[in-house]
Structure 1
Amino acid sequence: MDPSTYKLYHVDDFDSRLHLENYMSDNPDRISEEDSLIFPIENLTKMFTEGHIKGDVLIDLSPGSIVHHLFAACDFFKHIIVLKMRDRCIMELKRWVDERTGAFDWSHATKFHVDIGKYRDLLQEKEGKVRSALQHVLKCDLEKENIMDPIVLPPADCIITFSLLDAISKDQDDYMRYLRKFSRLLKPGGHIILLGALGMTYYTIGNHKFRAFSYDEEFARKALVGEGFIIDRCEVKMRMNVNDHIDYKAMMFIAAHREI
């Protein structure tokens, strides 16, 4: 397929439920449990439990209706604000938050989290805690200078973005431009956590291929340093499960803080 015909996450129709079923479900046919579920949960749990990142407000900017990467965060932040570009993604996430019939089942991801944290008796309590924290799921416009205009958000202690930069950036300049906008949501000395797929050019949702921005670890590091961040931790996990649905080479986790 000609790459110029690939769809764009923030322009074309994106089936957020099918995205969850393909990449995040407990179905044996899912793309990669190790990379899409366990890798982010392990790294975020470790980062937060060390106690270096905590505070009042965490802002999440991630594609689709994913929530599993926020399970560890609810123990360390009073308020979690989730920003989404698409109404459909907001509706799908709120269906889970409100425990509506037909909501996506995240219990397998919750189990990964409590097992990693050795809290096996707290499975239901964990999901309730996450739901209580996710009362602010808002729509944003990443093309505006202030992506929440006219709303003014409280400055965040931490921002997490899981592959959104991969999905919306067409080149290095785009990546830097969006990263700069995200960074403006942070308070002085705040932290940013980037989760992304290295070397990815496309991902598949159903019968449709979506374009992705391909970059490497060196570029991501330089992008953060260029925006005034100091990198605290970087973990890269090479891909083990190869298939035609998505072509990334490795998963990346970077935590960094901005100098006061």
Structure 2
Amino acid sequence: MDCSTYKRYHLHDFDSRGYLDHYFSDHSDMVFAEDSLKFPIEKLTKTFTRGHINGDVLIDMSVGSLVHHLYAACEFFKHIIVLKVNDRCIMELKRWLDSRTGAFHWRHATKHHVEIEGKRHQCEDKEDKVRSAAQHVVICDVEKENMTDPIVLPPADCIISAWFLDGVSKDKDDYVKYLRKFSRMLKPGGHLILIGSLDMTYYTVGKDRLHALKYDEDFARKALVGEGFVIDDCQVHKRTAVSDLIDYKALVFIVAHKEK
């Protein structure tokens, strides 16, 4: 397939439920658990339990309608503000936040998180804490200077962005442009946590093949430093999944802070 025909996450009708089913479910044929579920949960849990990343406001700007990357963070922030690029992603996320019938089942991811914390029997408590913290779900437009216009968000103590830059950036200049916007949303000294896929060019959702920006670890590091961030941690996890749904070679997890 010609890559020029690939759909774009934020520009076309993105099947948020199909995305979750393909890459984050507990289906027996879902081969991405080690990469898309366990790796980010383990890295985020370790990062937040160190105790130096906390505050009043965390902004989440991640692809689709993900939840599992917020389990560790909900213990350390009073408010989680979730930004989404379309109503379909908001509706899917709010189904889970509001405990509605038919919501995506995240309990397998919750179990993995609480087992890491040594709190095996506290799944419901953990999910309730995420629901309590993530009270604000806001639509955004990545091309606007203020992405949430007309709403003006408070400066964030931390931003988490999982696979978002991979999907919205048409090229490396775009990636840097969006990093700059993230920086403006952060307090001086605030933290940015990025989860992304290295050397990826596409991912599949249903019958659609979607564009992904191809970049490597060196580019991500240089882009962050160029925008005034100091990298605190960078971990690369080589791909374990066998599937032609997506063509990444590794995952990257980066923690950085904005220079004061």
TM range (shorter): over 0.9
Residue 205 of structure 1 is matched in structure 2 by 205
Give 3-state SS (helix, strand or coil) of 2:37's partner: helix
Residue 64 of structure 1 is matched in structure 2 by 64
CA distance in 2 between counterparts of 1:179 and 1:186 reads 11
CA distance in 2 between counterparts of 1:13 and 1:123 reads 33
CA distance in 2 between counterparts of 1:31 and 1:185 reads 35
Q: What amino acid does structure 2 have at the position aligned with 1:174?
A: D
Residue 240 of structure 1 is matched in structure 2 by 240
CA distance in 2 between counterparts of 1:183 and 1:89 reads 24
Q: Is the 8 A contact 1:239 1:249 kept in 2?
A: yes
Give 3-state SS (helix, strand or coil) of 1:184's partner: helix
Q: What amino acid does structure 2 have at the position aligned with 1:259?
A: E
Following TM superposition, by how much is the alpha carbon of 1:146 offset from its aligned partner in structure 2, in angstroms? 0.8
CA distance in 2 between counterparts of 1:254 and 1:241 reads 21
Q: What amino acid does structure 1 have at the position aligned with 2:215?
A: Y
Following TM superposition, by how much is the alpha carbon of 1:242 offset from its aligned partner in structure 2, in angstroms? 2.4
Q: What amino acid does structure 2 have at the position aligned with 1:185?
A: M
CA distance in 2 between counterparts of 1:119 and 1:113 reads 9
CA distance in 2 between counterparts of 1:116 and 1:207 reads 36
Corresponding position: 1:158 with 2:181 = no
Residue 117 of structure 1 is matched in structure 2 by 117
1:155-180 deviation line (CA, Å, top 9, x unaligned)? 00000000100001011101001111
With normalisation by structure 2, the TM-score equals 0.99
Residue 214 of structure 2 is matched in structure 1 by 214
Q: Is the 8 A contact 1:61 1:160 kept in 2?
A: yes
Which one is further off, 220-229 or 26-35? 26-35
5 Å-filtered alignment, 1:63-142, equals: 63-142=63-142
CA distance in 2 between counterparts of 1:221 and 1:239 reads 20
Following TM superposition, by how much is the alpha carbon of 1:2 offset from its aligned partner in structure 2, in angstroms? 1.2
Q: What amino acid does structure 2 have at the position aligned with 1:137?
A: V
Q: Is the 8 A contact 1:31 1:245 kept in 2?
A: no
1:206-228 deviation line (CA, Å, top 9, x unaligned)? 11100100000000000100011
Give 3-state SS (helix, strand or coil) of 1:151's partner: coil
CA distance in 2 between counterparts of 1:19 and 1:82 reads 18
Residue 39 of structure 1 is matched in structure 2 by 39
Residue 48 of structure 1 is matched in structure 2 by 48
CA distance in 2 between counterparts of 1:113 and 1:35 reads 14
Residue 180 of structure 1 is matched in structure 2 by 180
Q: Is the 8 A contact 2:71 2:126 kept in 1?
A: yes
Identity %: 67
1:98-157 deviation line (CA, Å, top 9, x unaligned)? 001100110000001001111112111111111111110110111101111111111000
Give the root-mean-square deviation of aligned CA atoms.
0.7
Residue 224 of structure 1 is matched in structure 2 by 224
CA distance in 1 between counterparts of 2:259 and 2:65 reads 31
Give 3-state SS (helix, strand or coil) of 1:174's partner: helix
Q: Is the 8 A contact 2:160 2:194 kept in 1?
A: yes
CA distance in 1 between counterparts of 2:207 and 2:29 reads 16
CA distance in 2 between counterparts of 1:52 and 1:30 reads 35
CA distance in 1 between counterparts of 2:230 and 2:182 reads 16
Following TM superposition, by how much is the alpha carbon of 1:28 offset from its aligned partner in structure 2, in angstroms? 1.4
CA distance in 2 between counterparts of 1:186 and 1:228 reads 12
Q: Is the 8 A contact 2:183 2:258 kept in 1?
A: no
CA distance in 2 between counterparts of 1:258 and 1:143 reads 22
CA distance in 1 between counterparts of 2:31 and 2:224 reads 29
CA distance in 1 between counterparts of 2:14 and 2:187 reads 32
Q: Is the 8 A contact 1:37 1:109 kept in 2?
A: yes
Corresponding position: 1:167 with 2:131 = no
Give 3-state SS (helix, strand or coil) of 1:120's partner: coil
Give 3-state SS (helix, strand or coil) of 1:124's partner: helix
Q: What amino acid does structure 2 have at the position aligned with 1:93?
A: L
Following TM superposition, by how much is the alpha carbon of 1:258 offset from its aligned partner in structure 2, in angstroms? 1.1
Which one is further off, 28-37 or 217-226? 28-37
